[in-house]
A and B are shown apart, each in its own frame.
Chain A
Amino acid sequence: MGARLLTSAFFGAWIEEAARSVRAERDELTRLDAAIGDADHGTNLDRGFTEAVRALGDRRPATPGAVLVLVGSTLIRKVGGASGPLYGTAFREAGKALGEAPEVSPADLAAALAAGVAGVRRLGSAAEGDKTMVDALAPAAEALTAALAGAVREGPGADGAPEAGTPAVGRDGHPSAPEDGRDGHPGAPVDGPAGAAGPDGRGLAAALAAAAEAARAGAEATIPMPARKGRASYLGPRSVGHQDPGATSAALILRALHTVAARW
């Protein structure tokens, strides 16, 4: 397959973008958590992602899988509460699914996201409809897999048609060119507009846009649900009418993934 491969720099950029989003939405997350939880979700997640960015900055692992495992371990240690173990497990399971490959494909990313969601379901014994982060994560993982499968079915003709100026053979002839560029300049901003976003890159960005939208809609759909898991479940029917903070932050993190893919 000709999809552009994703490096540890891509995953590092994702975590940086997620940290920025969480910081920007920190007070809103805490406000949501104050309604049905213990009013610390924004603060805890902000602290965790800040530490994750710092950990990656100290020494970013060479492989995407190792990046996500390090992020997961950091979140477990620094976030606390229930969301620390849950997000930590999500990232660690996703990282383990990516193995030790130096670069991974969009399909690998989709499989890793699915593995992360499965880990969260297992640890929290939560299903969709329980008013948890699973309500955002599960539809996002499904949407990503479905969108990528659809992109493959459409074939290179549909994808490549508007790309007359950048013949596919050029990409295929220099598959490692973007990597060489980044590896040669480790100080270069990897989160800046990466020029070589070819049709495959846009295919991934479009698929991640679908995933982010599924997560957003999934989070919004938690509003009328009574909570069946976590601290909010003690409120029973009184949790109805509030959007779940964990589902909301999960949607933020997936939106950050799309943001980074769109400029990758």
Chain B
Amino acid sequence: MSFSEIFLGILEGLDVTLTVTAFGLLFAIPFALVAGVAQQFLTGWKRAPVTAIIEFWRSTPILVLMFMFYYTLPVAGVYLNATTVAAMTLGLHIGAYGSQSVRAALQALDRGQVEAGLAIGLTRWQVLLTIELPQMAVAMLPTFVNQFIQLVKGTALVALITMTDMTARAKELSQLTFDPPAIYGALMLAYFLLLYPATVLGRHLERVVGRRSGRLNGGRAGDV
């Protein structure tokens, strides 16, 4: 098998990689926003469960989370397909990281913005939705891109729960032909081509947004 044949063979798994990414975003973005805002606004004992949920999703290794839900939900009578479990666990893991950036962005916003909004008679919710969140969106753009990269990289793990993504295709190909340098080189190349533009974009946004708001972007990337 030539390198290009191997590379095209690996790309057959691209649709699974992209599908899990897309559904993962559906979990990650709402979870990050809701959890981050809740953690910022709730006080006292009400805040504890929110923190606990965020820490559960953030401080447990993603591979363990994925296996945990993939194998435990059927025992509890819940039957989800692998795509759903993968998208949910990856999405919520990344979303939990994102929630910390949401909270950092909320804290970093000038207090005068909220006070001015309240002074002209808006409710707290209106202030949040029409004043704080739009301004945060810009500040959070670099973090969003970086977390997106983590999410795409995380989809490599779905190969371990029987799904045929790019990584799984590479393993299949390695059974057809013995050429590890070409197979795993092509796999690296596929992810590199997919994510390098995003990495450069994230770095560029970090510089632009960082310069404009004059501070380091809060939060850090996940670990997949």
A and B interact: no
A interface list, Cβ under 8 A from B: none
Residue numbers of B with Cβ under 8 A of A are none
